[in-house]
Amino acid sequence: MVRQQPKPGSDDSELRLWLDEVDKSMDFRPASALGMSCGTVTIDPCRAMVLVIWNNRLKLYQLPKGRRNLDESMLVAALRETYEETGLHVTPLRLDVATRATPAKTQDSDTSQKPPNITEGHPSNEFVGACFYPDPQSETEALKIVYYFAATADCTDSRDSGTQEEWEKLDAKWIPLSEVPSTLRFAAEVDVVTKTVADMKRSGYAIGA
């Protein structure tokens, strides 16, 4: 773990030591070794239901997600992949997500101070979190990063058919939020749903009765 950045006025040796630690901790990977996927945590807040998919090939439940296309924004990719895998058009939720993205500058922005590390109090469509792991399905070594966005839909809406790729074997299903820990195969995805629900409540959404 890199020590805290030296304060202004620190001697050059302390700054050099800190920069050496940063250098040792820094890693480079080419784009071909990084897999970016995007998905959604889609919730029907009135009925406290969440949208998941059953993967017939891997025999597990997971959240809808998929690889981003060239020149596609992460949010657009997340919504597109959710539609393709579930047949549902979902609506992104603007939430007060604690994020390291900086607020957009306005005419009244104070540019004399460095922005805080964590931005809060600015509702947005930022991703709520990400899962990352060595891609077990890649033929070459790659780190997979999956960015998840909060979305909403009505669980009683009908789904479009024929939206999946021919090789995909997925079945969409709505499950109660209470069943998420016992249904989703991966603990990290359970954490993503838990975080999304917390962000929704923090942003003023009522979930369930």
- Quick one: tokens of 62? 């997971």
Query: Helix, strand, or coil here: 88?
Result: coil
Residue 13's pLDDT is 86
pLDDT of residue 63: 98
pLDDT of residue 1: 66
56 Rama class: left (phi>0) / alpha (psi -120 to 50) / beta: alpha
What domains sit in the chain, N to C, each tagged with a CATH number? Answer: 34-100+117-202 (3.90.79.10)
Q: In DSSP terms, which residues pair with 151 in a beta bridge? A: 42, 92
Instruction: Report the sign of the C-alpha dihedral through residues 163, 167, 173, 178, in that order.
Output: negative
**How does DSSP assign 96-129, residue by residue?**
---BSSPPPP-TT--TTSPPPSSB-S--B----E
Please tell me the predicted confidence (pLDDT) of residue 27.
Answer: 94
Residues near 89 by Cβ (< 8 Å), separated by ≥ 6? 79, 83, 153
Q: Please list the pLDDT of the chain residue by residue as tens digits (209 residues).
A: 667 777 776 778 888 898 999 999 999 999 999 999 999 999 999 999 999 999 999 999 999 999 999 999 999 999 999 999 999 999 999 999 999 999 887 777 777 777 788 999 999 999 999 999 999 888 889 999 999 999 999 999 999 988 988 777 899 999 999 999 999 999 999 999 999 999 999 999 999 86
